[in-house]
Amino acid sequence: MSVLRHFFGFLACLIIGSQVSASQPAPRTTERKVLELVVAGYPEASRSLSLSALERFPHRTYSAVLDDESSVSHWQGVPLSLLFDEAQLSRAKRLRVEALNDFSALIPLNDLTTYEPILAYRRDDRYIGISERGPLFIIYPQVRHPELCTQLYFNRSVWQVSRITLE
């Protein structure tokens, strides 16, 4: 009898708990650190940024299509050139962009002035979840520059960005 009572008590807790969690979604925090910025050879210049810190930078919105999708999305984010100061950029040649899954890509610094790629944190006015390849995504303005619709630039469009190193 007591086993049956424990079973029904457990079942009731599951049902009530699932209703409470379904009606009250957990608040999304924007203060958790989502990006590490590193300047090679200058460890004192390294810093970590939260999503809310990134949102305080001037932003741009680009229309772009991912290589495995057919519809255009609108991406909002920070121009990569604003993440490092001019003195740091003048000593470097490229950015190494690393993802949560350890994928990395090199972006030459001349891309920052020629195409002004962004570190996107919103897609179609919504934050980008990890399951949607977020929270941060390198986006090039492909609609404005159709010549960017090549495998070279798709490879530079890193998703789930976690670290950017100025080299």
Q: Is residue 21 part of a domain?
A: no
CB of 99 closer than 8 Å to CB of 91 = no
Please tell me the predicted confidence (pLDDT) of residue 30.
65
Q: Is residue 145 part of a domain?
A: yes
Q: Is residue 4 part of a domain?
A: no
Q: Is residue 22 part of a domain?
A: no
Q: Is residue 76 part of a domain?
A: yes
Please give the distance of CA 87 from its chain centroid, rounded to a whole number.
Answer: 25
Q: Is residue 142 part of a domain?
A: yes
> Which residue ranges of the chain lie beneath pLDDT 70?
1-30
Domain count, the chain: 1
Which of the 8 DSSP states describes residue 115? Answer: T
Give first-to-last CA distance, the chain, whole Å: 69
Please tell me the predicted confidence (pLDDT) of residue 164.
97
> Could you report the per-residue pLDDT of 23-62, keeping only the tens digit for each?
444 345 567 899 999 999 999 999 999 999 999 999 999 9
Please tell me the predicted confidence (pLDDT) of residue 28.
52
User: Which of 121, 131, 154, 147 minimizes the C-alpha distance to 53?
Assistant: 121
Please tell me the predicted confidence (pLDDT) of residue 86.
85
Range of the domain at 118: 28-166
CB of 160 closer than 8 Å to CB of 101 = yes
Q: Is residue 49 part of a domain?
A: yes
Q: How far apart are CA 57 and CA 83, in angstroms?
A: 9
- Is the Cα dihedral 32, 113, 167, 108 positive or negative? positive
User: 138: domain CATH number?
Assistant: 3.90.420.10
List C-alpha distances in Å: 39 to 28, 67, 119. Answer: 30, 30, 17
